[in-house]
Amino acid sequence: MLDPYKIRQDFPILKRKINNHPLIYFDNAATTQKPKQVIEAIKEFYENHNANVHRAIHTLSQESSELYENAHEEVAKFINADGMKEVIFVRGTTEAINLVAYAWGLRNLESEDEVLVTLMEHHSNIVPWEMLSKIKGFKVKYAEVNDDGTLNYESLENAISHNTKIVCLSHVSNVTGVITDVKRVAKIAHEYGALVLVDGAQSVPHLPVDVKDLDIDFFAFSGHKMLGPTGIGALYGKRGILEGMEPFHGGGSMIKEVTFNTMTRECAISLNDLPWKFEAGTPNICGGIGLMAAVRYLNDIGMENVKEHEEILTEYTIRRMHECEKVKIYGPEDASLKCGILPFGVEGLSSHDVALFLDSYGIMIRSGFHCAQPLHEKFRLKSSARASFYIYNTREEIDRLIEALKEIER
């Protein structure tokens, strides 16, 4: 078991007070706080190694390049990919999904094809496919979600066909925290010859992930949801698929050479090797180094311990919320089926009213659609309040949340 009280000492922001109350941060599904180890890694880079990568032979550039490449390797090991050639650094999950949509989908999807997504998706795994469908003319189909927020596997199996070219789904719902059996979905999809793209934004920070065991083709996640800085994330892709794809962006770094034939007046472009052919321009170097520090921090704790800690907190919160008369929990209440995400509502109040009231007690939660409006429509909800937990949260903080909710009821 991890020790949240010891872990809290690594997070400077948790010493803050909000409205004269100790800060309680329950908005971890939106972004996590940063430990001093990550902050210091970024500071160390800028103070001692700052230079552009893969540009020069001088000492600083060589040091910077080595750190940046090491970051790719450590992220690859974290999800059990076959080295850094299968890990592309991007700004986050949204850009990773767009990369697949436009670098793969734009060249491989035709009007008779279908893309299958689920109704539990974050908008970033819906909007790119709908936008691209307007260009290419293919159909976007939606697998149903059960009333408790879990994926309806029968609906997915009925929706998939030999016209389906890619199945796109979340590993963990950012609204309910439900964990989807993506290994099962991948097996079904591959039987029809379809690829599988998984949104791992809410799974990589909270449970062990092995992309080989899951047998998925693409896997997208964000650094800022797993203790890293904002503006950095990663796309995993099977090497054979990535090698057959054209770049998403063009410019510096993603090419080996650009030559111009003065006789034919033609320009010839030779693409760089993986993963650099997908990382055009000056990358977020310090972001990658910060993400590496975050990966090391989580490895030291152990992802099984992270999952167990969140499960205990979620189970405890659900039990205590049942003491409230006007609080309703949305989605499944079996903590073993989900990560530490708990959507709820208070009778007679909007989610924003609830969030503002809790803020007055120094308790930070999310309110609104959580960038997943179709799932809220499925639940017939205008919005929801969402508490989400992480490694530094404690039972005492949950007790304060319940006290505040009871005060709202009064």
Catalytically annotated residues: 371
Q: What CA–CA distance (Å, rounded) separates 338 from 328? A: 17
Assigned CATH for 302-409 = 3.90.1150.10
Residue with tokens 């491989």, as numbered in its chain: 108
**Residue pair 110/135 in contact by the 8 Å Cβ criterion:** no
SS3 364: strand
**Residue pair 275/88 in contact by the 8 Å Cβ criterion:** yes
In the chain, what are the domain boundaries? 39-299, 302-409
Query: In this model, does residue 377 exceed pLDDT 90?
Result: no
Render pLDDT for 115-145 as a digit per residue (tens, 0 to 9).
999 999 889 999 999 999 999 999 999 999 9
Lookup: tokens for 212: 């080989």
Give the pLDDT of residue 376.
74
Distances (CA, A) of 87 to 63, 170, 185, 248: 20, 19, 22, 15
**Residue pair 14/319 in contact by the 8 Å Cβ criterion:** no
Q: Which CATH architecture has domain 39-299?
A: 3-Layer(aba) Sandwich (3.40)
Q: What CA–CA distance (Å, rounded) separates 330 from 233? A: 29
pTM (2 d.p.): 0.95
Q: Does 39-299 match 302-409 in CATH topology?
A: no
Any idea what the Cα angle at residue 265 is, between residues 263 and 268, rounded to 5°? 105
| Residue 172 banded pLDDT, cuts 50, 70, 90 | very high
Render pLDDT for 37-81 as a digit per residue (tens, 0 to 9).
999 999 999 999 999 999 899 999 999 999 999 999 999 999 999
Beta carbons within 8 Å of 88's beta carbon, 6+ residues apart: 96, 99, 234, 235, 236, 237, 242, 274, 275, 278, 279
Give the pLDDT of residue 59.
96
% of the chain beyond a pLDDT of 90? 86
Beta carbons within 8 Å of 156's beta carbon, 6+ residues apart: 116, 118, 143, 144, 167, 185, 188
